[in-house]
Chains A and B, each alone.
Chain A
Amino acid sequence: GAGVSQSPSNKVTEKGKDVELRCDPISGHTALYWYRQRLGQGLEFLIYFQGNSAPDKSGLPSDRFSAERTGESVSTLTIQRTQQEDSAVYLCASSFAGRNNEQFFGPGTRLTVL
């Protein structure tokens, strides 16, 4: 079956512009996660969805970052007024509900803010 997909795979934008990143989780996965990975670094948790509610938004770095999810399907991560420090790979993962279930990751969106 299809894995987690993300689009676009690469995004280059100018400082101050808004960007929207998309994640299509695996069908049937109710949990969805967004992470940020800066070059050569580990994963930084951003937000977690269970269904279309977000019980944990604690990782969003600022109010320029927001995310939404439609039902138990597509999620979008929006970054407003992008800054150069937003440049990173943004990874999405999905899983079945339950804390013992592993996450399945998408290939990521590489964001470059000029």
Chain B
Amino acid sequence: AQSVAQPEDQVNVAEGNPLTVKCTYSVSGNPYLFWYVQYPNRGLQFLLKYITGDNLVKGSYGFEAEFNKSQTSFHLKKPSALVSDSALYFCAVRTYGQNFVFGPGTRLSVLP
């Protein structure tokens, strides 16, 4: 069975500092990995995905994520956080023949 873990319920970071939101996964087979962001009272927005190729993928709003097969991780990163990045972030995984499985979400607060 597929599963996704986001070990931190909440991440706090000062504006201008780098941020990391962690995600680990468990699948049988090759994973397709996704990050979504949810701003207050809005639906989820796609940020980036890893399908194959370069382990470092770049997405919207300056975010990037690194796929690490040996650690089964896909951590979301940004070099310099903005207050407007404050939101709920979801990691999701999918593999052949399976549906999307979402992690529980991590609330990011960027403090001015």
Contacts and interface: CB of A to CB of B under 8 A. Distances in A.
Interface stretch (B17-25, B71-79, B88-96): B88-96
Interface string B8-48: 00000000000000000000000010101000001111100
Contacts of B34: 102
A41 interface: yes
A107 B38 CA distance: 10
Given A99-B96, A102-B49, A45 B44 contact: no
A104 B44 CA distance: 8
Contacts of B32: 99-100
Interface size on A, as a range, is 20 to 34
Listed from nearest, the 9 A-B pairs whose CB atoms lie closest are A105-B43, A42-B104, A105-B44, A43-B102, A102-B46, A100-B51, A107-B43, A42-B105, A100-B32
Interface of A: 4, 33, 35, 41-43, 45, 48, 56, 91, 93, 99-100, 102-108
Contacts of B46: 102-104
Contact of A106 (B43, B49, B100): B43
B95 A42 contact: no
